[in-house]
Amino acid sequence: SSGYSFPIIANSKPDDLISFAAKYTVSVKRSFTTSVGINYQDKFDLYPNGVIPLSRGVSFPLYPFLQPKETEAIIKVLSHLPQ
């Protein structure tokens, strides 16, 4: 399977970013859905630096066999991310 290796922390809601990327046929997914920290998001006061990446982290595809057309679509999405 193709890997997702380019994570970012979104300034907007991750679901909005995922649907925006889908318009350009770029498959984006949430980054830390299987992380152990996902169970502690309600502990913001204990982990203030960890909650934001857990809740807003998304990953873009990044692997050696991307076609130039796919790479251009990813660049377009990254350069026009919703704020």
Name the helix (H) or strand (E) containing 39.
Answer: none
pTM of the model as a whole: 0.76
Q: What is the per-residue pLDDT across 13-60, written as a single tens digit (0 to 9) for each?
A: 899 999 999 999 999 998 887 887 777 777 767 777 877 888 889 999
Model confidence at 3: pLDDT above 80: no
In the structure encoding, which two tokens stand for residue 16, read together? 């909005």
4 has which bridge partners?
A: 61
b (16+ CB within 10 A) / e for 25-43: ebebebbbeeeeeeeeeee
Provide CB contacts within 8 A for 70, sequence distance 6+: 26, 61
